[in-house]
Amino acid sequence: MKKKIATSLIGMSLLMPLTGCGTSSNDGNLQIAEGVEFGARDYEKIVAPNNELGFKLLKEVDVDDNGNLFISPTSLLMALAMVYNGADGVTKEEISKALQVQGMDAMDLNKANASLMTMLNKDTDAIQLQVANSIWLNEEYNFQEEFAVRSKDYFNAQIEEIDINSTDSPKRINEWVKKSTNGKIDKMVDGPLDDDLVAMLLNAIYFKGDWQYPFDKKNTENRAFQLADGTETLVPFMKLEEKLSYMANSELQAINLPYANSEMSMTIILPNEQKSFKEFQNSLSAEKWAELHSDFKSMRGTLLLPKFKMEYETELNGALETLGMASAFTDFANFSKMVEGDKSLFISKVKQKTYIDVNEEGTEAAAVTSVQMDTASAPVDDPFIMEVNRPFFFAITDDETGVVLFMGFVATP
């Protein structure tokens, strides 16, 4: 009987409000090594795929018991991009289809990711956004040299060998998690580690930033929010009177709230009352997202936005299978380029956990993506009023690249 092997690949991303200039730990900072070749604008090759992946996932994953949903397409794309280097044959083709990068060579995807992570790696007084990766490898195994080199070169992955039977190993992993997320996420693994574990890969995205136009707490008051079932609940609404990017048509209202120095923003889309939220959810797409942003105009008006906080968790196996990534979850998977020796790996579980808190000062959010692998044996000229008093969509975007880092629905604030 063949020994069962499990490999976990985990991606994390975190957003937190900037409460002062301060400094960030550079230990989690992504710095692509000198001599690694990629184009400065290679990231453009995966902006559209990243956003397309997100909007397609919105239709495939389930809302929670409160009707809420919150995912990070970027965290998922980066985690699976590293897995892509270990895939071959039909499995490689199917992963590229699910990631919306059909036909893209692994090296081209690596260069695009290195370029994107470099663009996301900002460290100024106004905004901080960094990316970090680490791989924790069972000391009984070895990665194939090409897989290890690509992980280090294009993802700046810190590769650490661990004794999976040691009680110190999960502590080391969790310490890296805690440090990389500024203490927001302090535990990703429980001890003891699974005897079948081959490797654990972690990806972290970290952001700190305030609203460019903060909401005055004195103006926050309870107002009625209409739930999906037609009933109402009182929740704290924040109020902002400002000149902002805004648009409205017969279907919806949308507004763009910039963070800090406008390098990042949150977009909020509110469907009109006549449109059912489910109909609105199904109508969202990357194409509609682009069209909506082309219609934004700078206008003065009033925004009433509920403070909201949520935690969300979903398994993505079914969604990824629907998007074309089928064989990766079966005994027919081909990850022959990952680990040395005759090991038949397949993905057993893809899961994502997320958290977000939106308040007067800014946004605090976290997302964790895990990939578990086993081996087989309004009128334009008038001031607008936008009262977000019913279920709505929101997304957090890096405006410099156009990459949507987070997106979700709020049905119950």
Judge if 299 and 398 occupy the same domain: yes
Rounded Cα distance, 82 and 120, in Å? 17
What pLDDT sits at residue 303?
Answer: 97
Strand partners of residue 199: 137
With a CB cutoff of 8 Å and minimum separation 6, the contacts of 374 are 4, 5, 6, 7, 196, 345, 346, 347, 348
Judge if 246 and 357 occupy the same domain: no
Rounded Cα distance, 170 and 174, in Å? 6
Identify whether 87 is part of a domain. Answer: yes
HSE (CB half, 13 Å, CA atoms) of 79?
A: 30
Q: Which residues of 141-175 are buried (b: 16+ CB within 10 A; e: fewer)?
A: bebbeebbebbbbbbbbbebebebeeeebbeebbe
Tokens of 46: 């995966």
Q: Do 175 and 27 contact (CB within 8 A), yes or no?
A: no
Judge if 251 and 398 occupy the same domain: yes
Q: Do 179 and 27 contact (CB within 8 A), yes or no?
A: yes
Identify whether 341 is part of a domain. Answer: yes
**Residue numbers of the domain that contains 246:** 217-306+379-410
What pLDDT sits at residue 374?
Answer: 58
Strand partners of residue 409: 69, 393
Identify whether 74 is part of a domain. Answer: yes
What pLDDT sits at residue 126?
Answer: 66
Q: Do 50 and 228 contact (CB within 8 A), yes or no?
A: no
Judge if 14 and 160 occupy the same domain: yes
Judge if 97 and 125 occupy the same domain: yes
* Number of structural domains found in the chain: 2
Judge if 72 and 89 occupy the same domain: yes
**CATH number of domain containing 363:** 3.30.497.10
pLDDT in tens, the chain (413 residues): 333 344 455 555 555 443 333 333 334 445 677 789 999 999 999 999 999 999 999 999 999 999 999 898 988 899 899 889 999 999 999 999 999 999 899 999 999 999 998 888 777 666 767 777 888 888 888 899 999 999 999 988 888 898 989 999 989 988 887 787 777 777 777 888 877 777 777 777 777 778 899 999 999 999 999 998 889 999 999 999 999 999 999 889 999 999 988 889 999 999 998 778 888 888 899 999 999 999 999 999 999 999 998 888 888 899 999 999 999 889 898 988 988 876 777 777 777 777 777 888 877 666 666 766 556 554 445 789 999 999 999 999 999 999 998 899 999 99
Rounded Cα distance, 32 and 156, in Å? 6
Strand partners of residue 206: 14, 130
Identify whether 203 is part of a domain. Answer: yes
Identify whether 395 is part of a domain. Answer: yes
Rounded Cα distance, 320 and 324, in Å? 6
Judge if 296 and 162 occupy the same domain: no
Q: Do 154 and 114 contact (CB within 8 A), yes or no?
A: yes
Judge if 35 and 47 occupy the same domain: yes
Strand partners of residue 233: 225
**CATH number of domain containing 293:** 2.30.39.10
Identify whether 1 is part of a domain. Answer: no
Judge if 317 and 339 occupy the same domain: yes
The CA-to-CA distance between both ends of the chain, in Å, stands at 51
Report the chain's C-alpha Rg in angstroms.
Answer: 22
Judge if 164 and 95 occupy the same domain: yes
With a CB cutoff of 8 Å and minimum separation 6, the contacts of 379 are none
Residue-by-residue DSSP string for 64-121 = -TTS-EEE-HHHHHHHHHHHHTT--HHHHHHHHHHTT-TT--HHHHHHHHHHHHHHH-
Identify whether 364 is part of a domain. Answer: yes
Judge if 258 and 196 occupy the same domain: no
Identify whether 189 is part of a domain. Answer: yes
Locate tokens 């310490």: which residue?
A: 175
Nearest Cα residue to 79 out of 319, 368, 406, 395: 368
Judge if 205 and 251 occupy the same domain: no
Rounded Cα distance, 146 and 148, in Å? 5
Strand partners of residue 138: 162
